[in-house]
């Protein structure tokens, strides 16, 4: 068994998370069922109900998992995990999210790495997996690039579990994700013949920094960060939204982008978040006191906008930032994809969160499906035939690299930046038919140019080389996202269309599936498995 990581192990995207983790059942009246219903209502019934059910059932178990790795949840005065150390996170109907103090996911990242060091597996750090190898519809290994010295290697494997995280980097600088999140897993899965679902569902955290450039995209907070009385203002100080803290991340993101598109944006292209009305009431003041000591987002505000802004007496600019991809590789309850021996777990997997992930659920999801995929992959591998390497397994990579060294076209990073600009503009916060078509034509054009891209070759730490492989992944993910966004002719969850501004339950209680690569990529629409739950849920909500 081997553990592969693009960065040195443990330095990835999980440790930069806020560290807030769902732990249902600590508030009186909470139940597995209530949590499940919250997930489906928040996900606007695009969730795979079986996967959501598992998250509801195993979230407490996943907290134990994390503590067994060496993490310690914050405790109350009695030394217990309880509602006293929790808060209501976005989209949950009651308090069930454990909040760390000090704030941040760094200790979670460290615990995961410690657990990684406990086992006797091989470890490959600083490798880019360039391709999965298959025989028919079955995994037989993978090809990887060692970024340290530029060498390629083939690993024979009966089973592969993708835990590559998301693709927030598609929207740089409008993302709070790490530079490694270039969507490798989605593209590897597509290339191997697996299917993606609902890739149009990209979660933007509504409040992020607009300037200076060094901090653009950094997360300030989700709707709860507005406090009970925070409000959004346009450039002239007109009130655009109040009671923000009860909205979903998607709802707030859409409000901001619609106003900005209407030309109501402030100096750096965002809206103004005004927390000062919170000073007027007792609960508002209590919120601000809490925020000033407990919420890392306000430290980002201090750094970006200065100590005066930190006081929250005056409004400051905010813009949404790509945070999480709800869509992803289609999996079953054991993380199995449609390719035999290929598994996916964590953000790279799709269907769990539907059209909107509730706050604090990701840190459960990664553990629950990581464990399930690992267990099943081990069982599967025990019974599978030993895979064979072939002499020509690396030829494709060698060929691509020698082409890049020979050609004199654009550098990969230039094409990456072009793609990111287009994704933010055309497949960002609010989409429409024209934007979708523009995105696809830009993807085509960048793909064509990427055939001519070139750079000087050198053996070790050639960032151009990593960028070149990643660009190919990003193009696939961009295409899948744009195609799905064009396909979904309604607004639902994180997907907002100005030409179809309403949710359309009659026609679109349906998932969008993507298969294939490049111009032969295909989409298919199938009725959501949660459709019947949706009808019951909608009835409950309206009664």
Partner 1 sequence: MDTVTIEVIRYDPTQDAEPRPQRFVVPTEKGATVQQALMHIYEEQDSSLAFRCGCRYRYCGLCALEVDDKPCLACLTPLKDGQVLKPLRHLPVLRDLVLDRSWVFDTMRNLQLFIPEMEYEELPERIFEPEEHKRLMQCTECLACLATCPYYDYRDASFGGTYTFVKLAQLHFDPRDQTDRVAQARKLGVERCAACRKCQCPLGVPAWKSATSVLLKHASSRRD
Q: In the structure encoding, which two tokens stand for residue 106, read together?
A: 């760094």
Least Cα distance to 170 among 317, 324, 18, 352 occurs for 324
Tell whether the torsion through CA atoms of 498, 500, 504 and 507 is positive or negative: negative
Containing 319, the helix (H) or strand (E) segment is strand 316-325
Among 25, 116, 277, 537, binds partner 1 (CB under 8 A): 116
Least Cβ distance, residue 414 to partner 1 (angstroms) = 8
3-state helix/strand/coil string of 328-384: EECCCCCCECCCECEEECHHHECCCCCCCCCCCCHHHHHHHHHHHHHHHHHHHHHHC
Q: Kindly state the number of chain residues that form the binding site for partner 1, as judged by CB under 8 A.
A: 67
| Nearest to partner 1 of 306, 518 (CB atom) | 306
Q: In the structure encoding, which two tokens stand for residue 392, read together?
A: 């020509």
Region near partner 1 per CB under 8 A, out of 65-73, 261-269, 480-488, 491-499? 65-73
Least Cβ distance, residue 85 to partner 1 (angstroms) = 11
Q: How far is CA 140 from the centre of its chain?
A: 28
Least Cβ distance, residue 218 to partner 1 (angstroms) = 5
Helices (H) and strands (E) in the chain, counts: 15, 22
Q: Is 410 in the site for partner 1 (CB under 8 A)?
A: no
Buried b (16+ CB within 10 A) or exposed e, 348-370: bbbbbbbbbbbbbbbbbbbbbbb
| Nearest to partner 1 of 61, 437 (CB atom) | 61
| Nearest to partner 1 of 117, 502 (CB atom) | 117
Binding mask 287-326 for partner 1 (x = CB under 8 A): -------------x---x----------------------
Helix, strand or coil, per DSSP, at residue 307: helix
Q: Is 449 in the site for partner 1 (CB under 8 A)?
A: no
Least Cβ distance, residue 467 to partner 1 (angstroms) = 9
User: Cis (ω within 30 of 0) for the bond into 212?
Assistant: yes
Region near partner 1 per CB under 8 A, out of 60-68, 130-138, 320-328, 380-388? 60-68
Q: Is 218 in the site for partner 1 (CB under 8 A)?
A: yes
- Within 10 angstroms of residue 77's Cβ, the number of other Cβ atoms is 8
Give the contacts of 237 (CB within 8 A, at least 6 positions apart).
Answer: 272
Q: How far is CA 234 from the centre of its chain?
A: 28
| Nearest to partner 1 of 33, 72 (CB atom) | 72
Least Cβ distance, residue 198 to partner 1 (angstroms) = 26
Which class for 511: exposed (0-12), middle (13-18), buried (19 or more C-beta within 10 A)?
Answer: buried
Binding mask 379-408 for partner 1 (x = CB under 8 A): ------------------------------
| Nearest to partner 1 of 247, 362 (CB atom) | 362
Region near partner 1 per CB under 8 A, out of 40-48, 84-92, 207-215, 394-402? 207-215
Q: Is 461 in the site for partner 1 (CB under 8 A)?
A: yes
Binding residues vs partner 1 (CB under 8 A): 7-13, 15-16, 61, 64-65, 67-70, 72-75, 78-81, 101-102, 104-107, 110, 113-118, 123, 125-126, 148, 176-180, 211-215, 217-218, 300, 304, 411, 413-414, 417, 455-456, 458-461, 463-464
């Amino acid at each position: 068994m081997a553990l592969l990581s693009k960065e040195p192990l443990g330095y990835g995207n999980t440790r930069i998370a806020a560290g807030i983790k769902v732990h249902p059942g600590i508030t009186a009246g909470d139940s597995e069922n209530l949590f499940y219903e919250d997930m489906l209502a928040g996900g606007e019934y695009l969730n795979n109900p079986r996967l959501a059910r598992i998250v509801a059932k195993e979230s407490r178990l996943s907290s134990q998992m994390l503590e067994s790795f060496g993490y310690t949840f914050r405790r109350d005065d009695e030394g217990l995990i309880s509602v006293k150390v929790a808060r209501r996170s976005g989209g949950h109907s009651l308090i069930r999210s454990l909040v760390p103090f000090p704030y941040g996911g760094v200790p979670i990242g460290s615990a995961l790495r410690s657990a990684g060091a406990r086992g006797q597996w091989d470890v490959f750090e600083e490798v880019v997996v360039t391709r999965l190898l298959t025989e028919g519809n079955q995994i037989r290994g993978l090809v990887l690039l060692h970024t340290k010295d530029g060498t390629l290697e083939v690993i024979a494997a009966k089973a592969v579990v993708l835990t590559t995280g998301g693709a927030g980097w598609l929207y740089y600088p409008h993302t709070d994700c790490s530079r490694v999140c270039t969507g490798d897993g989605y593209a590897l899965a597509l290339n191997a013949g697996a299917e993606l679902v609902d890739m149009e569902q990209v979660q933007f955290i509504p409040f992020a920094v607009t300037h200076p450039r060094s901090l653009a995209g950094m997360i300030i907070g989700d709707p709860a960060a507005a406090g009970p009385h925070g409000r959004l203002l346009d450039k002239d100080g007109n009130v655009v939204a109040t009671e923000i803290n009860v909205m979903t991340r998607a709802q707030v993101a859409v409000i901001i982008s619609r106003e900005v598109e209407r030309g109501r944006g402030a100096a750096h292209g965002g809206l103004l978040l005004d927390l000062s009305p919170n000073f007027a009431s007792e609960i508002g003041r209590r919120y601000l006191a809490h925020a000033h000591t407990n919420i890392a987002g306000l430290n980002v505000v201090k750094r970006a906008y200065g100590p005066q802004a930190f006081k929250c007496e005056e409004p400051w600019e905010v813009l949404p930032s790509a945070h999480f991809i709800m869509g992803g590789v289609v999996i079953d309850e054991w993380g199995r994809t449609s390719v035999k021996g290929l598994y996916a777990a964590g953000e790279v997997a799709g269907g769990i969160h539907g059209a909107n992930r509730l706050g604090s659920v990701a840190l459960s999801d990664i553990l629950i499906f990581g464990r399930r995929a690992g267990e099943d992959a081990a069982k599967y591998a025990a019974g599978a035939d030993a895979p064979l390497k072939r002499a020509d397994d690396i030829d494709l990579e060698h060929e691509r690299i020698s082409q890049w060294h020979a050609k004199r076209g654009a550098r990969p990073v230039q094409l990456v930046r072009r793609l990111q600009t287009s994704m933010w503009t055309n497949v960002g916060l609010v989409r429409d038919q024209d934007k979708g078509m523009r995105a696809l034509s830009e993807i085509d054009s960048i793909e064509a140019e990427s055939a001519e891209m070139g750079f000087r070759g050198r053996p070790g730490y050639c960032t151009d080389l990593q960028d070149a492989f990643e660009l190919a992944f990003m193009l696939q993910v961009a295409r899948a996202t744009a195609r799905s966004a064009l396909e979904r002719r309604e607004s639902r969850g994180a997907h907002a269309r100005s030409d179809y501004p309403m949710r359309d339950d009659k026609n679109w209680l349906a998932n969008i599936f993507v298969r294939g690569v490049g111009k032969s990529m295909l989409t298919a629409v199938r009725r959501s498995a949660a459709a019947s739950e949706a009808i019951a849920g909608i009835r409950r909500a309206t009664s």
